[in-house]
Amino acid sequence: NDSLIFTLLNGISISSDVGETWTEIPEPPITGYIRLNLATNDYLYVSHGCQIYRTADLGQTWEDITGILDDVGFPSPYSCSTVLAMARHDDQLIISMYWGGGKGKLFVSDDYGTSWTVLNDFPVDHSVNAIASKNNVLYVGTASTLSGVYYTTDFTTWIDFSSGLESYDYSVSQLVATDEYLYKTGGTLNSYQISLPELDTHWESTQLVEFTLSQNYPNPFNPTTTLQYELPRDAQVKIRIFDIMGKEVKALVNNQQNAGFKSIQWNATNNAGQPVSAGLYLYTIEAGAFRQTKKMVLLK
C-alpha cells in the first residue's frame, strides 16, 4: 500500500497520514534490534542479524522466512551477521547477506521469501551494499574498492560497468534507478550518475547545484535524530532548533564548512544540556543566502 509509512521508534510504527499520527504494531519474536528491510503491497519484511521475518497483516502474525539464508555462505571463520540490502525485482525478491571480512552472498526468491536460491553466478564474493531494479534489469553495488557496480537481466550473466569510477568510488552505499539514470553514492563524498540503458557510457560526477536540507530521521524520534544537509559550495552554516513558539532551543552548528554532504545528530537537549519536553520542533539551516525550515516530532 503506497499510502503507508513504517518507522522504528520503540518498536515498529505505521502511519497512513504522511506521518501526522503513528500506530505501533506487534513486533516479531526477536530479541534485540530490529531492522526494517522492505515493504511491498503484500508483506512487510524485517530482520535481526541474519533472521528474516515477514508479516502480511501488519504484525498480527509473523513468519520466519530465514530458510537457507544464514546457512549457504562461507566456511569458518566467517559467519552470517546481517542483511545488507533487500529489494523487489519484478515479481521476485533479492536479498544481500553479509558474512564478515567483506564477504557476502546474493539470494533470490520467487515466492515472497518462502524459499530462497543463492545466486552463485555473481562474479565476486564481496558483499553487496545496495540493490536497485528498473525495467527488468537488476543493478547491484558492492562494498569493495576492488569490484564495483554490476547489472544483470538473467542472474547468470553479470556485467561490470564501473568504468569511469576511481578505485575508492567503486564502493557503493546507495543505488537509485530511474527511467533515465542510475545514481550511486558511497566510497567518497562524490555522487555519480550513468545514463540508462546505455551502460557502455561512463559514470559522471553529479555536482551539487543547490543547498538542501533533508527531513530528519527517524521522525518521530526518541531521544536522538539525525539531520542531513548538502552544500554545493563552501559556506558559513548555522543550524538551530526552535520550539513551536519560535524560541531557540539548541544551536547545533555555527561555523564555516566545506562543500559536500553533511549530517549532525540532536539528542533532544537544549543549549544548557537539559532534556527538552516532547512535542513539535522546528529546525532551520542558514547557509549564505539560503534558509530552510522543517518540522520534527519528539516523543517521550
Instruction: Give the E-state strand segments of 68-126 in sequence order.
Output: 82-89, 92-100, 103-109, 117-118
CB-count exposure of residue 208 (10 Å: 0-12, 13-18, 19+): middle
Q: Are 266 and 275 in contact (CB under 8 A)?
A: no
Q: Which of 40-49, 124-133, 257-266 has the weakest average pLDDT?
A: 257-266
190 & 219 share domain: no
Final residue before a domain boundary, out of 195, 224, 251: 195
* Of 8-17, 30-39, 265-274, the least confident: 8-17
Helix, coil or strand: residue 100? strand
At 140 the pLDDT is: 94
Dihedral sign from CA coordinates of 111, 117, 123, 128: positive
Which stretch of 50-59, 138-147, 227-236 has the lowest confidence by average pLDDT?
Answer: 138-147
Kindly report the pTM of this predicted structure: 0.65
CATH number at residue 279: 2.60.40.4070
Q: How confident is the model at residue 88 (pLDDT cuts 50, 70, 90)?
A: very high
125 with 266, same domain: the answer is: no
pLDDT at 128 (0 to 100)? 92
CATH number at residue 119: 2.130.10.10
Residue 264 placed within a domain: yes
| pLDDT (tens digit per residue) in 135-159 | 899 999 988 777 788 999 999 999 8
Same structural domain, 173 and 278: no
With respect to residue 200, please indicate whether it lies within any of the assigned structural domains: no
- The pLDDT of residue 89 is 95
What pLDDT, on a 0 to 100 scale, did the predictor assign at position 52? 94
Q: Percentage of the chain surpassing pLDDT 90?
A: 45
| 274 belongs to a structural domain | yes
For residues 51 and 53, give the distance between their C-alpha atoms in angstroms, rounded to a whole number.
7
Residue 59 sits in the same domain as residue 102 = yes
Contact 52, 95 (CB under 8 A): yes
| 164 pLDDT higher than 90 | no
Cell 528474516 belongs to: 52
Both 78 and 37 in a single domain? yes
Does residue 2 surpass a pLDDT of 70?
A: no
Among 14-18, 87-91, 290-294, whose mean pLDDT is lowest? 14-18
Grade residue 20 by pLDDT with cuts at 50, 70 and 90. confident
pLDDT, mean of residues 272-278: 94
User: Do 166 and 256 belong to one domain?
Assistant: no
pLDDT of residue 203 exceeding 70: no
pLDDT, mean over the chain: 86
Domain boundary among 195, 229, 247: 195
Strands across the sheet containing 248-257: 248-257, 235-243, 279-287, 290-298
Question: Among 30-34, 55-59, 253-257, whose mean pLDDT is lowest?
Answer: 30-34
Report how many domains make up the chain: 2
Q: 145: which DSSP letter?
A: S
Q: Is residue 41 part of a domain?
A: yes
C-alpha cell, 160? 561490470
Residue 227 lies in a domain: yes
Q: Are residues 180 and 221 in the same domain?
A: no
Question: What residue type is assigned to position 83 of the chain?
Answer: V
Local confidence band at 241 (pLDDT 50, 70, 90 cut-offs): very high
Query: Residue 284's domain spans which residues?
Result: 212-298
Question: 161 in a domain, yes or no?
Answer: yes
Q: Which residue has the higher pLDDT, 194 or 109?
A: 109
